[in-house]
Chain A
């Protein structure tokens, strides 16, 4: 863990050497989801609601998933960019060090410019929360925090799976972006607006449903049933990372260097 923070501070310092470039990129990262959000706003202006969900409720959903996405892109960038490590044969170097490969790959790259994206979703979050009539309680606050945290876990898990595939394919696969970019795009709306099979797939196989739709119902007072279960669904969702971790371990054992 100490090593991880060491990596973190080194990368932060090195990216801060190019300060103007850093800020420009961050501002750019702000505007990409911003244009999507503007689109969302205009759609609601025209249609009013989507299957009974109001604008601010969907905005909350949007904010949570985009926050999770930007955090995971910032901290799990190492896995996202993993194919370059394999192609160049630099993964061999990581293997001979007496530390776990997980921490080292995680620490191989950070994208701090995602702070722009994060800022955008924080603004949306605050705006949505201040316009929603929610009776706050400690449990609800914890649920909201858990939603974001376990969202990060799920995205990281997908990055890990995609990275593991590189052990066999060497080149990174674009297909994985279905589940990262596509998952983000899809999960910014409550899952029940989609067809049943899509909603099921993204609840039980890749558990995006557990970080937005199910707990969101509880926070907004829409669902019925046990509070505790709703609070714990994000925790269940974050368990997704465990099988990903095992697959990663399996992949590392089967690694064959490219030799370059």
Chain B
């Protein structure tokens, strides 16, 4: 455990080096957030029937989405790991006296965490200071906030567990592009990045609720705005926990499976 924490800390420090890049990213996400909010504002203006999520809640949703974008995006990836797998340098990794799954998990977790820590605060702070109706509001109660925090953290752990499958699949396909695309498009769509889950048609919502993707991002953001009441949020967190256990267990099994078959050519 101590070793994994050390990997985590090392990677966090490394990620923090790229401050200028993070700032540029913040500017982009701000612009993006504004555009999306304005589009939805225009949609809501003449809505025939009351939409299932209010504009106010939706704005919270979008700002949180922008602030924690790295917690949603599959595209955010570690090319180093892909290179390790395709070039055969994986042999070095296998020599390390530690489980590969835990090692990579800590690495990927730290990358997302450091990037999010750099990006989320400027976005959140400025979003709080924006004029009505664009501003981000504090959550309805301290309980909602605590639930949001735990849901967000569990969501992150869950996302990393999902993304591990991406790396495992590269052992079989040897080219990351294909799986990246499938994972990227599907997960982002079902995590509510293209349109928020509550605005999807009912039949699609049912699919989204079954898949693990919406628990990574959609769920915590709706807990924050109070769109999901506190009792449901507690049940939701239990669902997240069970998904996490199952996915980590499956990921370990799958990784051990492909590692048994791995062939490292010399050179």
Contact = CB atoms under 8 A, between A and B. Distances in A.
A45 B28 contact: no
Interface stretch (A8-16, A47-55, A95-103, A236-244): A47-55
Contacts of B204: 42
30 contacts: A24-B178, A28-B177, A32-B181, A32-B185, A35-B188, A39-B194, A39-B195, A42-B195, A42-B204, A43-B199, A46-B199, A47-B43, A47-B51, A50-B39, A51-B45, A52-B46, A174-B24, A177-B28, A182-B28, A182-B31, A182-B35, A185-B35, A186-B35, A193-B38, A193-B39, A193-B42, A194-B38, A195-B38, A198-B35, A198-B38
B175 interface: yes
Closest 4 CB pairs of A and B: A39-B194, A193-B42, A28-B181, A174-B24
Contacts of A189: 39, 42
Given A35-B185, A35-B188, A35-B189, A43 B43 contact: yes
Contacts, number: 83
Interface residues of B, number: 32
A31 B181 contact: yes
B47 A47 contact: yes
Interface of A: 21, 24-25, 28, 31-32, 35-36, 38-39, 42-43, 45-52, 173-175, 177-178, 181-182, 185-186, 189, 193-195, 198
B177 A50 contact: no
A189 B35 CA distance: 10
Interface in B161-185: 175, 177-178, 181, 185
Interface string B182-221: 0001001100001100011100100000000000000000
Interface of B: 21, 24-25, 27-28, 31-32, 34-35, 38-39, 42-48, 51, 175, 177-178, 181, 185, 188-189, 194-195, 199-201, 204
Nearest to A37: B194
Contacts of B43: 43, 47, 50
Contacts of A39: 189, 194-195
A251 B82 CA distance: 37
Contacts of A43: 43, 195, 199
Most buried by A among B25, B42, B177: B42
Nearest to B48: A48
B201 to A, nearest CB: 6
A47 B200 CA distance: 11
A199 to B, nearest CB: 10
Nearest to B192: A39
B28 A31 contact: no
Given A39-B195, A43-B195, A24 B185 contact: no
A38 B194 contact: yes
A11 B130 CA distance: 48
Given A35-B189, A194-B38, A178 B200 contact: no
B42 A51 contact: yes
Nearest to A113: B177
Contacts of A178: 27-28, 31
Given A35-B189, A46-B199, A198-B38, 9 more contacts: A24-B177, A25-B177, A36-B194, A42-B195, A47-B51, A49-B46, A174-B21, A175-B28, A189-B42
A83 to B, nearest CB: 13
A33 to B, nearest CB: 10
A177 to B, nearest CB: 6
Contacts of A48: 46, 48
Given A35-B188, A39-B195, A42-B201, A47 B48 contact: yes
Contacts of A185: 32, 35
B200 A42 contact: yes
Contact of B175 (A21, A46, A49, A181): A21
Contact of A42 (B48, B177, B188, B199): B199
Contacts of B181: 28, 31-32
Contacts of A47: 43-44, 46-48, 51
Contact of B25 (A21, A49, A51, A174): A174
Contacts of B178: 24, 28
A45 B201 contact: yes
A109 B174 CA distance: 25
